[in-house]
Structure 1
Amino acid sequence: MSGYRVALIDDHEIVARGFADLFSTIPGIEVVATVGSVSALLDSLAPGDHLDLAILDLRLADGSTVAGNVDSLRERGIDVLAFTGGDDAQLMRFAARSGVLGVVRKSESTAVLLDAVTRAAAGEPVASTEWAAALDGDPDLADAGLSPRERQVLSLYAAGAKAPLVASRAGIAESTVIDYIRRVRSKYERVGRPANTKVDLYKRALEDGILPIPGL
């Protein structure tokens, strides 16, 4: 692995400079752009350019919306990590519902920020107490109505177990595990909370308290 390519979208010049300086000496992370808007980032990418992660300030001054920004980035195959002052739970809810990999506060320590960016650049969800609190207070987070058995299978599968191991631990056939996962995805889809990937399933499990928030 030659390294992850990341970009920061933040319209505060001091924040952008500090971020770039912080990561300039970190092996495996290349900050390829620090820009003030999503449109500026996308316009700067040449055809075929690959970007692993965009670290997105949730409060930009260009009139863009969180959902619109996240959608634009994900449509280009770019994962998103929300970067916020943490003073607006509604913005964090918008971000979580839009499909970001996690939320990290600007006030976090250097170690926490480095860990979050490194994990998100690798496509891993970054759970945090802020993300959990925002989702916990979200009145629009629809209940998927999973059965106890579906919740059990989801808890094992979303935590990283492959279907054969889930089958062994749950005492059911592997084909039944696959059927349960298909039903779980369908139920989440019906309530407007898509879970098309294993990362999505992990996030849904965190949101619904089926898996614990790491570190809590």
Structure 2
Amino acid sequence: MTGEVSADGASLVRVGMVDDHRSPIWGIERVLDPIPDISLVCAASTVDAVLGGMPLDVVLLDLRLGDGTTPRENVNALTAAGVATVVYTSGEHPALLRSAARAGALGVVLKSADESVIIDAIRAAARGRAVLTTEWAAAIDGDPELAAVDLSPQLQKVLALYASGETSARVGTALGVSAETVNEYLKRIRQKYADAGRPTRTKVDLFKRAVEDGWLPVPQRYRRTTGVVSDDARGRRR
């Protein structure tokens, strides 16, 4: 999160936008203009152009750009620059969504989403948290390249608790083991995901893996009535 502050003293989230059409940019300008703690500081048609401007905390990234770059290339470039990525798309290209998810985008927001969803997504991403939407869940749940990872019941519990925000000490207390044992369990979990080609370098990565494999549910507020990540999906991945 940036150290800059808004007029009312809150931390200011600096947002960039990458889209080669002007109308979505105008829409985001209108959405963010009255929000005191978020500022759209630049917009461009390429990631390189956005990164060449002012320092940024979050970028809203369209998936299909005229410069021929791929979602993976763009997310990787933003991540290397220390910028969180939220895919901002019309959602009609599931394969591109999955590519962005695998590259490390924090989430997906549809261009048709309510203003409150867009604002919440930016704030979450600025704090390094996954942006949990139905579209993001659908992208990862339908990805055939997500190799299954087999975790014992104890490792499942450790992953679910730790990825939910608990510390190693609190996980240990809940399970009746030491914090050191929990850390050893976490090493095993990370290794298993690394062996499957699904690295977990951060706690956010662990959270994403837990949701992807059904150890944690997508919060109820982000599910449609039909359900995207369900108990059936959890069973398929075990």
User: What TM-score comes out, normalization by structure 1 length?
Assistant: 0.94
Task: Tell me by how many angstroms 1:149 deviates.
Answer: 1.1
Please name the residue that 1:73 is paired with. 78
CA shift for structure 1 position 25: 1.6
Indicate which of 98, 101, 105 corresponds to 2:103.
98
Q: What is aligned with 1:29?
A: 38
* In the alignment, structure 1 residue 176 sits paired with structure 2 residue 181: yes
- 2:52 counterpart SS class: helix
The question of 1:156 aligning with 2:161 is answered yes
1:117-143 C-alpha deviation (Å, 9 max, x unpaired): 121122211111111112111111011
* 1:31 partner SS: strand
Is 1:128 aligned to residue 133 of structure 2? yes
Aligned with 2:112: secondary structure? Answer: coil
SS in 2 for 1:44: coil
Normalised by the length of structure 2, the TM-score is 0.86
Which ranges in structure 1 are unaligned for 5 or more consecutive residues? none
Q: How many residues align?
A: 212
Q: 1:199 — aligned with what? A: 204
Letter in 2 for 1:149: Q
Query: Structure 2: how far apart are the matches of 1:188 and 1:116?
Result: 26
* AA matched with 1:88: H
Which of these residues, 81, 94, 110, is aligned with residue 89 of structure 1? 94
Q: Partners in 2 of 1:167 and 1:92 — Cα distance?
A: 36
- CA offsets 1:138-177 (integer angstroms, 9 cap, x no match): 1110112222211110000000011111011112121110
Q: Distance between the aligned counterparts of 2:157 and 2:166, measured in 1?
A: 12
SS in 1 for 2:144: coil
Is 1:190 matched up with 2:195? yes
8 A Cα contact 1:52 1:122, kept in partner:
no
Quote the sequence identity (%). 45
Give the corresponding residue for 1:7.
16
Structure-2 separation of matches of 1:190 and 1:16: 40
**Hey, which bits of structure 1, 4+ residues long, moved more than 3 A?**
none
Unaligned runs of 5+ in 2: 6-11, 224-238
* Higher mean C-alpha deviation, range 23-32 or range 62-71: 23-32
**C-alpha RMSD of matched pairs (Å):** 1.2
In the alignment, which of 112, 136, 143 is matched to residue 148 of structure 2?
143
Match of 1:62 among 58, 64, 67: 67
Q: Is this contact kept in 2: 1:20–1:34, CA < 8 A?
A: no
The offset of 1:89, in angstroms, is: 1.1
